[in-house]
Amino acid sequence: MPANPDKAQNKTSQEWRAVAAQYEQKNEELAKQVAGYDAKLASIKQQQADISNQIKGLRNQGLTNTEFAAREADLTAQRRALTQQNNAIQNDREQTTTQISDNKDAIAKANTRADIAQEGEALADTTTPPASPNPGDGAIVPPAAAPTQTINPASNVTPAQD
């Protein structure tokens, strides 16, 4: 699958539908990834709850203050590591759901282009440059038209002297 299949120009209705199908297939794969992230996040949440319960139970184990402090520090470090894993997975999940949303937009655009294009007839890319492009953004800015001057022919004529 091309990186940006909707960027090519001159596609037929059928080709635009194929682009939409590619994005839909990619979204199915991404949805599976999100489900995997959700399972990992649930597992981490459970592990964190277990650690919290272990910390609460330390008081009842008859440990010395030194043993208690060492064990509590160990469990707190484990919980911190789980929190870091949770944050990384949550970040990956958010990026994946953003990609799914972007793909849904691309699907809608491809379907719209497919509806506009007649079967067997190519539809040129409809991307337009921004109204006020900034230098370096890749937009092509047409050259400015030279100002036109209107000359009043009567003003250039001097009366003849006899």
84-120 pLDDT per residue, tens: 999 999 999 999 999 999 999 999 999 999 888 865 5
Q: Beta partners for 123?
A: 11
The structure tokens 């000359």 sit at 151
DSSP code string of 54-116:
HHHHGGGGT--HHHHHHHHHHHHHHHHHHHHHHHHHHHHHHHHHHHHHHHHHHHHHHHHHHHH
Count the Cβ atoms, other than its own, within 10 Å of residue 19. 24
Please, what is the angle between helix 65-116 and helix 13-57, to 10°?
170
- Residue type at position 110: A
Q: Is residue 27 a contact partner of residue 104, using CB atoms and an 8 Å limit?
A: yes
Separation of alpha carbons 102 and 108, rounded Å: 10
Q: What angle do CA 117, 6, 135 make, to 5 degrees?
A: 115
- pLDDT string in tens for the chain (162-residue length): 444 555 555 788 899 999 999 999 999 999 999 999 999 999 999 999 999 999 989 888 888 999 999 999 999 999 999 999 999 999 999 999 999 999 999 999 999 998 888 655 554 555 444 454 444 444 444 444 544 444 544 445 444 554
